Structure 1
Amino acid sequence: MRTSEIFNNKTVLSLEIFPPRRTASIGIIYKTLEELQGLNPDFISVTYGAGGSETNTATLEIASAIKNNYGIESVAHLPCINLNKDEVLNMLEGFKQAGVENILALRGDVNPARVPKQDFRYASDLVSFIKENGDFNIIGACYPEGHSESPSLLDDIRHLKIKVDAGTDQLITQLFFDNSYFYSFRERASVAGINVAIEAGIMPVVNKRQIERMVALCGVKLPKKFVTMMERYENNPEAMRDAGIAYAVDQIVDLIAQGVDGIHLYTMNNPYIAKKIYAAISTLLVA
């Protein structure tokens, strides 16, 4: 099933997981999926390896299992910066054979130690290529606070419009901690004529190191309320975990009240946190 069709009926809840760094440990992810299955997510997305590594075979294996073994729609991430056209064609064939109908088309992060291939400079190039060579539902990434490489929010929206016009069927945002950025972004997208469903990406933060890494990677801004919480509980792991869950729940409740198309929860492969959040918001996820 194309995940873009689910938005016609309800507020969507989706989850994201990542393959283990070592393929020998892949069994761990299936224990995680068994616990997440009870949350009845509308779909689960699987990142491309860990930290940009070349474990794409694990991505395909897990995405196939989600769809065929667990009966949940799956999305496979596909970053293109280090792939050529033949490699992408082979991956598309693998997705097709596995019954995976949904692809999150990404440029991917630039690795200074690796020279990028030149077939796909932007995610929009990959989107066009997939549309020409397969019958897939294509999901794109978007950035409420603007992409870190974009000179302005206007320029960021202009490039997003190009990606949508190339054939992107729905969007998932990068994580954010201040909902006002999402609402401003949604308004900019609407003015630009971007009319596909936009899911809000939410990451519950459970320790200080995690948020420091996210800020370094993504450049997201931290509201005063969030910083105060982190400073108060950073030396109490259990309190920090519970406060992070509560903060994410507050974000989600507000987003649903404001008519968000869906919530995409970055689980970090932690079923406990995902289940706590689901318990708090499940009654809000109505048609």
Structure 2
Amino acid sequence: MASVRTYGNLDVAVRSDTSDVGEGPVFDPRTGRLVWVDIYGCAVHEDDLATGGQTVTRLDTMIGAVAPRAERDGFAAAVAEGFGLITDGALELVDPVLPEPSLRMNDGKVDSRGRFWAGSNHLEFAAGQGRLHRWDGASPSVVVADGLVLPNGLGWNAEDTVFYLADSYANLLYSAPYEPESGELGPLEVLVRTEGSGVPDGLAVDTDGCFWVAMHGGREVRRYDPAGRVVGVVPVPVLQPTSCAFDRDGRLYITSARNGLSARELTDHPLSGSVFVLDTDTTGVPVQPFRG
């Protein structure tokens, strides 16, 4: 049985008492800034962690995730209606793959070849309505997997041979064989049926072969090894950690949410909605910018 390490010394990286559902943290290689979204707040946050400076871009639609662009300004975005591009603070909806008002895009990430992957879900989290999409920016997106509930955190191992996916309200963590050149997945296989409080939300993969999963409602981030065993736990001083991302030096940044908490819960957990940082003894698998 694998031993479980408890990680401490968590600090506040970005204090916020206004973000509703902080999600999708990613580092922008063009600026070095930490970028994250507020899904229900319809906002993109860009934080200069050295100076404390912040830029907030507000949209007219829910936004699940953004990705810095490789060769152009702005961001690729997974929004309620599909995939688009944010330039100079304005959203251009490029791939309206979700015209149904009952659906929206959720968390997303870019693969090693610069393609944007994102999950979509029913607003009421109806079983079987969740799908996983892949978009290269040059052609319409494709559905890579369906029949899910709330496809959420995703990532790839350092060798680019295994894909990980969290399905939150199914309490499942999947893995699948992955072919990086084509972007094709093998069958999704259940790696973990999560137990205890909270549901698996966003995740980040490290170069030691493990992956870190924010447990929404569980007050912690868990580190799993490739066999699906918990090998580390990061206690978080909020009820709803949502996702995590590594910087280039191995610090783990953890977003959180205020949505749905009572006045008493917010009083007891005043940092809800903030971003936290943890020094680790590993590094993250690099996340590439969007090539489109």
Category of TM-score, reference length = shorter chain: 0.3 to 0.5
- TM-score of the two chains, using structure 2 as the length reference: 0.34
- TM-score of the two chains, using structure 1 as the length reference: 0.34
Larger radius of gyration between Structure 1 and Structure 2: 1
> More strand per residue: 1 or 2?
2
